[in-house]
Structure 1
Amino acid sequence: MPDDRAHASDTPAAALALEGLPPYPFPNPTALEPPPEWERLRSQCPVARIELASGDEALLLTRYDDVRAMLSDPRFSRQLDADDASRVSDSEDGGVFSRPSAAAGEAADTDEPVASMLGGPGHRRWRQLVGKAFTVKRVQALRPGMEQLAEQLITEMVEAGAPADIGPALGFPLPVFVICDLLGVPRDDRDRFARWSDTMLNMTRFTQDEIDRSGREFSEYMTELVAAKRSAPGDDLLSDLAADMSAIELVMTGQGLLIAGHETTANMIGKMVAMLLADREHRWERLLADPSLVPSAVEEALRFDANPGFGMPRYISEETVVGGTTVPRGTTVVCSMAAGNRDLDAFDGAGDMDLARRPNPHLAFGVGPHSCVGQQLARVELQTVLEVLLRRLPTLELVGDAADLRARQGLIVGGIDRVLVRW
């Protein structure tokens, strides 16, 4: 295929030139279709100026190689707390990347050096400690319990009758229960986690007062829980980490894992089911005929996801060259992993969903020092849900047209408002 993109980034002027300053994120034509801007920018303007919800300016990367290179570079941080960094959210605090958590603010008041968790040697130490709970071996040991939970949730969904919304029936409770059990957090508090998570991941949906109130509640909850774990350890991750982390480090870790451990996976379950049922004959029925494709189908759903949310920002702490463009110090760069995952230079037939695609080096979990620490857990959860759904509800289908599905709005993470199904 001819590549008309080779000269687009030869000069900074060419790379940064764009008519107007488009608001970002770009709207999806439908919940399952990518914004047309991705393809246009990859071919014409791979390092593009954009306007964030805050009104601040940033640069957007849409090519696979550029996104991968930026995310892999340990020099650049995802924490946008520098004075000249762009704010992602329209809220006064600038959003979750600008203010990691209420606990971080408390740590600053007590001079506790938890900021080191966010980058450099401190971050590597944190990943080594937490990563022990998310090794392939340990996550695979959780699979039988996940299968039992998926069976139970699907049974309850069937008993309630069709149509059902796959999100609240299955997509949300399963990863919430799994991460709660892993951390040693009561399952009954799951609705509170959802509210706290949404406000912390705000882009345009919540007021600053709502965000502050939720942040305080979440921090107080985790502080009490951590104190209980330290005084009476149990068989859970927070208890295991208590000997190696301070109380505030544990609070921040618990908050981060609770949000990351359920929000994106819960949304991805709904999106994955919608993708497969949107072309039922060629996708869902192919998996019914060959369930061995489930692992590769999950990876392809992650790559093919056109509605992942904001992407991953980076703060450029020193002048660098990206995509042939010189980017000055103090610039905020947004890496669109989903746009990179649709790059024809990286994936043959990138615009097609190939359930047997191998290898599949997609960017959905990021790469480099800040890649998703729980990606193995997410993979097993998605595989388990899909395997059980195929076995229990082979006649599953969407209610209505896939084109009518509505993308979730106003949060850093993407999703679909409702995925109604019947069987």
Structure 2
Amino acid sequence: MPEPTVDVPAVPKARSCPFLPPDGIADIRAAAPVTRATFTSGHEAWLVTGYEEVRALLRAPSFSVQVPHALHTQDGVVTQKPGRGSLLWQDEPEHTSDRKLLAKEFTVRRMQALRPNIQRIVDEHLDAIEAQGGPVDLVKTFANPVPSMVISDLFGVPVERRAEFQDIAEAMMRVDQDAAATEAAGMRLGGLLYQLVQERRADPGDDLISALITTEDPDGVVDDMFLMNAAGTLLIAAHDTTACMIGLGAALLLDRPDQLALLREDPSLVANAVEELLRYLTIGQFGGERVATRDVELGGVRIAEGEQVVAHVLAADFDPAFVEEPERFDITRRPAPHLAFGFGAHQCIGQQLARIELQIVFETLLRRLPTLRLAKPVEELRFRTDMVFYGVHELPVTW
């Protein structure tokens, strides 16, 4: 690991309040929204914290996702990236081509058509929770299995393999392990997905993999590897992000009784509340990594070709130039164009599904369990500082 330069400060990670950005990040943003910083790997890079500057970075074609170092892991090793269909690790022109193929299956109409199934899944899990009685761990019994069931249904993952899929997803999202452990989890996922693709080719169903197999493919790119890369990326990302938002969002609402009461008394606020939760809890806690493909100016700073840059979207979503009183959690706030789903070419393709899930989850949770409350003080909760996406490891609740 390289030795950090003395006068280049480390990116803040410690939080006095678990629901607010790391201490000191606001001071960095106020002093210089584009500045040098030292990351977990020991490498130095540019840190971008201002809202407008992050948006400019994420939409600029002069930055690539093919970074030479993994800034947020301890060893800094960049594992082998998947190829066509993976989206997250693709640049132009392949990214645009592959995204168009996948976007046909993530239309607003198709996502809205999933509402009845999502509602059924949510209700079944709450039935089980009520039958068990409190206290329960809302992460284990609800936040993790609900999005896992939703995305598994969408991709046609057999029921008997879903527990294995959840284990793999957790292993792949850790940042406190070496590259070998992450690669081992990736190999397990690859084996599961290869078998799934072969089954869908032999016996197509009403699922996303089957739809992609039969989609119009003039360039002939939708082969087994494309299907495995697309399914793997979307399965992991859609499961883990939504699970984190359910657990962390529930913890925040239960910690803010005034906002909880507003939502419980007026369920029509749920769409508004979800947007404020997404902004306030922006769970991509480390930010998106890029590398400059040419010399470029960003926020008045010259970034040289080959230099790495991190878009700190959490800091950007708390920029007072973007939203008034950003540290005030207010579900009646007029929704603002937050960056929780990213921005530009790599904006989350599944964001409409995530919104629908979260709206159904929080409306139903508070309707079915109106006296829901924390069974442990917030100070005693374990937060996911060791994972790619921020959240809670467990959430003991009762009612």
Matched, 1:342 2:323: no
> Which residue does the alignment assign to 2:117?
145
Change over 3 Å in CA distance of 1:43–1:92 after alignment to 2: closer
Q: CA deviation at 1:86?
A: 5.0
Identity in percent = 36
For 1:250 and 1:371, locate their aligned partners in 2 and report how far apart those are by CA, in whole Å: 20
Q: In the alignment, which residue of structure 1 is the partner of 2:47?
A: 60
Q: What is the Cα deviation at residue 34 of structure 1?
A: 1.9
Counterpart among 349, 367, 371 of residue 343 in structure 2: 367
In the superposition, the TM-score normalised over structure 1's length comes to 0.87
Q: Which moved further from structure 2: 45-54 or 271-280?
A: 45-54
Aligned match for 2:261, one of 277, 281, 285: 285
Change (3 A) 1:20 1:405: farther
Say yes or no: does 1:257 pair with 2:228. no
The structural deviation recorded for 1:259 is 0.4
Q: Does 1:209 align with 2:190?
A: no
1:303-342 alignment, distance < 5 Å: 303-305=279-281, 307-342=283-318
- Inter-partner Cα distance in structure 2 for 1:92 and 1:344: 32
C-alpha contact 2:134 2:398 (8 A) present in aligned 1: yes
Matching residue within 208, 218, 232 for 2:189? 218
**1:158-197 aligned within 5 A:** 158-197=130-169
Give structure 1 regions of 4+ aligned residues with deviation exceeding 3 angstroms.
18-25, 85-88, 113-117
Q: What displacement does 1:335 show?
A: 0.7
Structure 2: distance between partners of 1:162 and 1:115: 41
Give yes or no for contact 1:93–1:99 (8 Å, CA) kept in 2. no
For 1:32 and 1:225, locate their aligned partners in 2 and report how far apart those are by CA, in whole Å. Answer: 38
* Equivalent residues in 2 for 1:5-404, closer than 5 Å: 20-24=7-11, 26-80=13-67, 82=68, 85=69, 87-91=71-75, 93-94=77-78, 98-101=79-82, 104=83, 118-204=90-176, 206-243=177-214, 244=217, 245-280=222-257, 282-305=258-281, 307-404=283-380
- Measured in 2, the distance between the counterparts of 1:420 and 1:406 equals 11
Q: CA deviation at 1:87?
A: 4.1
CA offset digits 1:323-360 (Å, max 9, x no partner): 11111111111111111111111101211112122231
SS in 1 for 2:306: coil
SS in 1 for 2:230: helix
Say if 1:131 and 1:373, in contact at 8 Å, map to a contact too. yes
Equivalent position of 1:6 in the other structure: none
Change (3 A) 1:144 1:115: closer
The 1-side partners of 2:285 and 2:21 are apart by 11
Alpha-carbon distance change, 67 to 195 in structure 1, aligned in 2, over 3 angstroms = same
**Could you give the per-residue CA deviations for residues 222-265 of structure 1, whole angstroms, max 9, x where no partner exists?**
11211222232211111111243111011100110110110010
CA distance in 2, matches of 1:353, 1:77: 34
Does the 8 Å CA contact 1:304/1:341 hold for their aligned counterparts?
yes
- 3-state DSSP of counterpart to 1:295: helix
Supply the AA of the counterpart residue of 2:231: G
CA drift of 1:25 comes to: 5.8
**After alignment, is 58-67 or 215-224 more displaced?**
215-224
CA distance in 1, matches of 2:162, 2:37: 36
Instruction: Supply the distance in 2 between the matched residues of 1:197 and 1:73 (Cα, whole angstroms).
Output: 30
1:322 maps to a residue whose letter is: L
In the aligned structure 1, how far is the partner of 2:183 from the partner of 2:335? Answer: 44
Is the partner of 1:373 in helix, strand or coil? coil
Return the alpha-carbon distance in structure 2 between the equivalents of residues 20 and 122 of structure 1: 40
In 2, are the aligned partners of 1:25 and 1:52 still within 8 Å (CA)?
A: no
Aligned length: 388
In structure 2, C-alpha distance between the alignment counterparts of 1:31 and 1:418, rounded to whole Å: 14
Unaligned segments of structure 2, at least 5 residues: none
Gaps of 5+ in 1: 1-17, 105-112
- TM-score for the superposition, normalised by structure 2: 0.92
Q: Which amino acid in structure 1 is aligned with residue 276 of structure 2?
A: E
1:129/1:56 CA distance change after superposition, 3 Å: same
Deviations 1:6-47 (A, max 9, x none): xxxxxxxxxxxx974333461222421321222101111322
Cα distance in 2 between the residues matched to 1:185 and 1:74: 36
Q: What is the CA–CA distance in structure 1 between the aligned matches of 2:165 and 2:18, rounded to whole Å?
A: 25
In the superposition, relative to structure 1, how do residues 38 and 19 fare at CA in structure 2: closer, same or farther (>3 Å)?
farther
Q: Distance in 1 between matches of 2:353 and 2:334?
A: 20
Letter in 2 for 1:364: A
Matches of 2:6 and 2:280, distance apart in 1: 28
CA–CA separation in structure 1 for the residues paired with 2:142 and 2:285: 21
Distance in 1 of aligned mates of 2:141 and 2:97: 37
Aligned 1:404-423 pairs, distance under 5 A: 404-423=380-399
The answer to whether the Cα contact below 8 Å between 1:28 and 1:307 also exists between their aligned partners in 2 is: no
Task: Flag the 1:137–1:306 CA change in 2: closer, same or farther, 3 A.
Answer: closer
